[in-house]
Amino acid sequence: DRVVMTDQEHPGGRAAYDLRRKRDGIQIFEVALGPLRNDPTRMVAAFRDAVTPDTKVLALPQVSSALGLCLPVQKIVAAARQRAPDVFVVVDGAQALGQIPVDVANLDCDAYFASAHKWLLGPKGTGVLFVGKRRERQVWTTIASRVWDFADDIGRRFTHVGTGNQSLHRGLDAALDFLERIGLPAIHARIKTLGDRLRAGLQKIDGVTILGSTHAELSAGITAFAVRGFRSEDAVRHLLTRDRILTRVVTGGIRQSLHVYNGLADVDRTLARVTAMASGRDAR
């Protein structure tokens, strides 16, 4: 069996395929996203070329975790189905739900999963899984509980009999209510505005390299970049201790994520500190 995915899959989405490769010998083909990060046309073409008629699964993130690339999933899936009409398409939406508009019907995916503690601001330990009607009876739970073979409601097959943590569900309800009071379109627009402002400012700083995308279609609220003279760990520590700016280490640089609770002043504070770092005025 052949599986096509990206070279930037989160371990939570990739590990199961690695297990199957070691256990059953499946083939995994990776599409390298880095060289394509500013060219959506070439990105779609790369996936089209990677998918063969015998490809069983296409697994890809709607937004990549490390670099924050917003993949043109709808176009990628359409191109993939031209080569392999029955390919099972599964989309990782962990960094998408709450950050950008999501419509699983328009994506034409067979499955969509996401954790809810990121851009949805829900409790850790919560998440969502969508499986399309066309495929729902082909998907088996790997952890069997009492209703594992329930026929009348396929979704119940993935639930567990026993006492669950209802507080997590209530917390997720509260988070969704909060986001809906603001309005998801307004949230998406603000995130995009803040991300664009950060990237525009970073591009003007000598000694800063943007690792993610600057293309309007392929970028939103996550920006990955490197600062000259700073290792990733040192840059994260410096921003946190000097200005209480929280970032994350990624390969070759750092990542900053901007949400609805951030403002223009937060972006400008980041740009001012990074300018000082890149110029050498700030010691490591």
Q: Where are the domains of the chain?
A: 2-169, 184-279
DSSP 126: -
Whole-number pLDDT of residue 153:
80
The rounded distance, in Å, linking the Cα atoms of 173 and 13 is 25
Q: Which residues contact 220 (CB under 8 A, 6 or more apart)?
A: 63, 68, 70, 99, 100, 188, 191, 192, 195
Q: Which residue has the higher pLDDT, 280 or 146?
A: 280
Whole-number pLDDT of residue 254:
98
For 114, the 3-state DSSP assignment is: strand
Q: What is the mean pLDDT of residues 183-212?
A: 98
Whole-number pLDDT of residue 68:
96
Q: Which of 12-16, 71-75, 247-251, 255-259 comes out lowest in average pLDDT? A: 12-16
CB 117 within 8 A of CB 257: no
Q: Which residue has the higher pLDDT, 12 or 182?
A: 182
Tokens 């082909």 locate to 138
Pairing mode, strands 27-31 and 2-6 = parallel
Instruction: Express as a percent the part of the chain with pLDDT over 90.
Output: 85
In the predicted structure, residue 150 carries a pLDDT above the cut 80: no
Nearest CA to 72 among 88, 96, 54?
96
Q: What is the mean pLDDT of residues 79-94?
A: 97
Q: Which residue has the higher pLDDT, 262 or 136?
A: 262
Asked whether the CA dihedral 100, 104, 108, 110 is positive or negative, the reply is: positive
Question: If one looks up domain 184-279 in CATH, what number appears?
Answer: 3.90.1150.10
Asked whether the CA dihedral 228, 233, 238, 239 is positive or negative, the reply is: positive
Q: Which residues contact 161 (CB under 8 A, 6 or more apart)?
A: 145, 146, 147
Convert the pLDDT of each residue in 237-266 to its tens digit.
Answer: 999 999 999 999 999 999 999 999 999 999
Give 208's strand partners.
227
Instruction: Express as a percent the part of the chain with pLDDT over 70.
Output: 99
The rounded distance, in Å, linking the Cα atoms of 6 and 13 is 11
**pLDDT grade, residue 284 (50/70/90)?**
low
The answer to whether domain 2-169 has CATH 3.30.420.40 is no
Whole-number pLDDT of residue 139:
86
CB 187 within 8 A of CB 260: yes
Tokens 């191109």 locate to 79
In the numeric block, which tokens belong to residue 224?
Answer: 């990955």
The rounded distance, in Å, linking the Cα atoms of 106 and 154 is 22
Q: What is the mean pLDDT of residues 78-107?
A: 97
Q: What is the mean pLDDT of residues 61-69?
A: 96
**pLDDT grade, residue 152 (50/70/90)?**
confident
Convert the pLDDT of each residue in 96-112 to its tens digit.
Answer: 999 999 999 999 999 99
Dump the DSSP string for 45-104. HHHHHH--TTEEEEEEESB-TTT--B--HHHHHHHHHHH-TTPEEEEE-TTTBTTB---H
